[in-house]
Amino acid sequence: MLSKFKIMKSFLVFAFFLMSITFTIAPASAYMLNWGLDPNGGGDSILTVPEYLNLTGTATITNDFTTLTFAETGTFHSFSYGPPTAPLLLDYLTATFQATGTLGTDEFYFDAVPSSLHIYTAGNVEIGVFNLLSGGGGLNADFGPSNGFITANFVAESLAAGYWFASDLTTDLSTYDLESNSPVLTLGFATTNATIVSGTEVYDGSGRLTQFDVGNNGQFRLDIVPEPATFMLFGIGLLGFAAISRKKRA
């Protein structure tokens, strides 16, 4: 029979695990409101973005059924933001998305590396690079998107000065040390509604889509989450939970 000390120790470790999950998941479910964007740069014409930028465009997807992988190349435009939806009123933005991933039975998953989103001004100046952390969606029997929803979570690798601002509309997000993820991580969330562009489909002998274009209409959000110590806590919590499980099995 476990001693009171051991029971209390197990309880504290498990409580720490729960706290770790809470602190880790809670920030990830939120996003910045009323953050600032200056599509022209310089910080002298900052727009207040209530939640998101609208991204629209087309991507070409190629499936490889030998390796059960796929590649995607897309180009997107942002002419508005919201809610409520309003035009940028200044020069629009463009973005390119390069991604690879894995095909499952009824789902697909993006590779974290080297999938990335690059955002440019109308003058083709790169103002943001966001590397993919995770993402994917559902698949039909012919390996096309099943429900039209694709989710991708990004982490900012680099942001140009004078374009991206925190909710106070004065703090330039490019001043954060993104490479070392300190003091914060700046994340982008994009959820798109993807539909196959009719007439672009190429099938193999088994009726599976080997190549097709998808039209995307989605949203790009920004989020600031705690520094990596939070994720370290989560990892420690998992180790504690695993230790308790091993003791119970023993």
Could you read off the pLDDT of 78-130 as tens digits, one per residue?
Answer: 989 999 999 887 678 999 999 999 999 899 999 988 899 999 998 899 999 99
- List beta partners, residue 158: 129
3-state secondary structure of 102: strand
The answer to whether residue 205 sits within a structural domain is yes
Mean pLDDT, residues 8-13:
44
The answer to whether residue 249 sits within a structural domain is no
3-state secondary structure of 247: helix
The answer to whether residue 13 sits within a structural domain is no
The answer to whether residue 206 sits within a structural domain is yes
Instruction: Give the list of residues 6+ apart from residue 95 with CB closer than 8 angstroms, or none.
Output: 55, 57, 75, 76, 77, 78, 117, 118, 119, 120, 220
For residue 210 the two structure tokens come to 């080997």
The answer to whether residue 209 sits within a structural domain is yes
**Number of domains forming the structure of the chain:** 1
The answer to whether residue 59 sits within a structural domain is yes
For residue 178 the two structure tokens come to 């993104």
The answer to whether residue 24 sits within a structural domain is no
Tell me the residue range of the domain where 123 lies: 33-226
The answer to whether residue 18 sits within a structural domain is no
Could you read off the pLDDT of 166-216 as tens digits, one per residue?
Answer: 999 999 998 876 665 555 566 788 888 889 999 999 999 999 999 999 999
